[in-house]
Structure 1
């Protein structure tokens, strides 16, 4: 296993896609993730996410070949006509740690992944080399090859060609309000902030070259968890089909030590869940300050 569970560990992400079989060809066939579960999305699970109308949707769960306890769940759902990636609040991207990032554009040629940011080094951020792709459901996936740890966090080297999600990116209505919420509600730590020319945001909002964005990391001690991004005032609430999962990067699952330590309001009461992801632990879902869905699994690990 290439990472160990502790409070705040990213245990998975949910992706909404218009064609589950085609998405599986991408995630399983191209990214090389292992398929561990398929079937209709259980009604009680969909209700716990606040998305009862997603019940029964075709569903699949995958994990990296490294064996890391981090799962990407694909849920088939019709596209929303008003959704455009990188223009709405909520989960903007999942960052996966990978090997050989400069080889990934060729590996993805002819797949459902569209390369929108080829691999490149970022001035002021020497810690990893990122690239960005969009999937069939306009979900954003970053494929990052780690070069070194940051001064304040430990970044995971990939133990398989594609490994686990190690940072999730939040497009925030109010960056510092979101940072404060994750600190107080989920008992996480504020990390470093960076100011950079964020090409994805600038392109999405037609900002002039050189426009700077501030991002703040949220972590547990040296474990990186979230990158919270300032978004321009032109950003909007994410559109969604009534009672269904939000489009794109739909939800993030985090491990927490104890529900008793949190200051949150669950969408439904916590319940005991089984299977590869939940491992017989209590789970429940909350909604963050930018409308993002966060499923919490009570692991008892600090």
Structure 2
């Protein structure tokens, strides 16, 4: 069992030029449920350093397993981003019971399929497909058939389930891994492997092996870190959040330890998306944003 300070992953926030379209796409195309509508409060603006978003609408959506992990924030003037070509949070790996069912039923006019269902090079127990969604976010839709040691990964019987692996794009795997190892107090695993969606996006030889790392988190979650040397900086929006996958939210066992380590303040925010009221925003080595939320006592 992992001794990680980080985890589980709470969810991801997407920045949408058209909130209702993006929200409806997940409801009709993936079977998500809209469970709450709210607006960006002053407290959230202050936490995010995003004054332009004050009073902008937010949708919180739950997957079929009931986990309300997807938060979509509207910014009608946000710039477009190029999937798989920018640093920061590159993809969201989401658990499903049967990836072939999703492939047969998904609305391909909204979710562009960039990788057909296939078992991964690293394991014949993991079958995944890849899509680009309505906010230029990439999702890895993943079926896990059995345990995959040494990784601690979730399995689900629900049509769609939780976000369990945020995938980070970086120009330097070792620097990014060291940053999160220090926060997590657990050593990651480094290896080279084929990443077909990256190979296709960049037009690189099919046999190319990417430097990759994984870092085990609590709650059967991981961070994956992919080194892409030519990736450009994430697309920023003045007074707002980064385009596409704007941020990841993750629980932390000791937020005071993290705050001291990073020399960052902790905010007190009452919001149903967060499992507790103590939250801090961290910027990682590749410009990625991650909210750390104090893990509630059991």
TM-score, normalization: structure 2?
A: 0.90
Aligned pairs for 1:75-90 within 5 A = 75-78=73-76, 80-81=78-79, 83-90=81-88
Deviations 1:161-192 (A, max 9, x none): 101001110001211111111111x2242333
User: Which residue is 2:257 aligned to?
Assistant: 261
What's the CA shift for 1:56? 2.2
Aligned counterparts of 2:189 and 2:146: Cα–Cα separation in 1: 16
Equivalent residue runs for 1:40-189 within 5 Å: 40-68=39-67, 70-78=68-76, 80-81=78-79, 83-184=81-182, 186-189=183-186
Partner in structure 1 of residue 277 of structure 2: 281
- Structure 1 pair 257–301 and aligned structure 2 pair: CA distance change class (3 A): farther
Q: What is residue 192 of structure 2 aligned with on the other side?
A: 195
Partner of 1:36: 35
Which runs of structure 2 are paired with 1:6-17 in the superposition (5 Å)?
7-17=6-16
Q: CA deviation at 1:231?
A: 0.8
The unaligned stretches of length 5 or more in structure 2 are none
Which segment is superposed worse, 273-282 or 21-30? 273-282
Give me the whole-angstrom Cα distance separating, in 2, the residues matched to 1:188 and 1:16: 31
Q: Please state how far the C-alpha of 1:126 moved relative to its aligned partner.
A: 2.2
Q: In the alignment, does 2:290 pair up with 1:291?
A: no
More moved, 111-120 vs 290-299: 111-120
> Aligned Cα RMSD in Å?
2.2
Would the aligned equivalents of 1:6 and 1:301 in 2 still touch at CA under 8 Å?
Answer: no
> 1:66: how far off?
2.0
Q: Does the 8 Å CA contact 1:256/1:301 hold for their aligned counterparts?
A: no
Distance (Å, rounded) in 1 between the aligned partners of 2:28 and 2:121: 33
The aligned residue for residue 215 of structure 2 is 218
What TM-score comes out, normalization by structure 1 length? 0.89
Name the SS for the 2:188 alignment partner.
strand
Tell me the alpha carbon deviations over residues 92-145 of structure 1, each in whole angstroms, 9 at most, x when there is no partner: 011110011012222113552111111111223323111111111101111100
From the superposition, tell whether residues 241 and 176 of structure 1 become closer, same or farther in structure 2 (CA, over 3 Å).
same
**Contact 1:202/1:208 (8 A) holds in 2:** yes
Residues 41 and 55 in structure 1, CA contact (< 8 A), matched pair in contact too: yes
Q: Report the Cα distance in structure 1 between the residues aligned to 2:263 and 2:286, rounded to whole angstroms.
A: 15
The structure richer in helix per residue is 2
Structure 1 runs (4+) greater than 4 angstroms displaced: 79-82
Deviation for aligned residue 1:294: 0.5
Q: 1:128 to 1:289 in 2, by over 3 A?
A: same
Runs of 5+ unmatched residues, structure 1: none
Distance of 1:110 and 1:179 partners within structure 2: 34
Instruction: Tell me, in whole angstroms, the C-alpha distance in 2 between the residues paired with 1:93 and 1:79.
Output: 22
Residue deviations 1:45-103, cap 9 Å, x none?
A: 032122222222221011223233x5110112246556211111000011110011012
CA distance in 2, matches of 1:47, 1:288: 18
Q: Within 2, Cα distance between the matches of 1:301 and 1:192?
A: 29
Taking structure 1 as reference, are residues 80 and 60 closer, same or farther at Cα in structure 2, changes over 3 Å only? Answer: closer
Superposition deviation, residue 25 in structure 1 = 1.4
After the TM superposition, which of the residue ranges 140-149 and 29-38 deviates more from structure 2? 29-38
Q: Deviations over 1:249-272 (max 9, x none)?
A: 110000011122221243xx3233
Superposition deviation, residue 43 in structure 1: 2.7
Larger mean CA deviation between 95-104 and 33-42 belongs to 33-42
Aligned length: 293
Q: Is the 8 A contact 1:217 1:224 kept in 2?
A: no
Does structure 1 retain, via aligned residues, the 8 Å contact 2:152–2:216? no
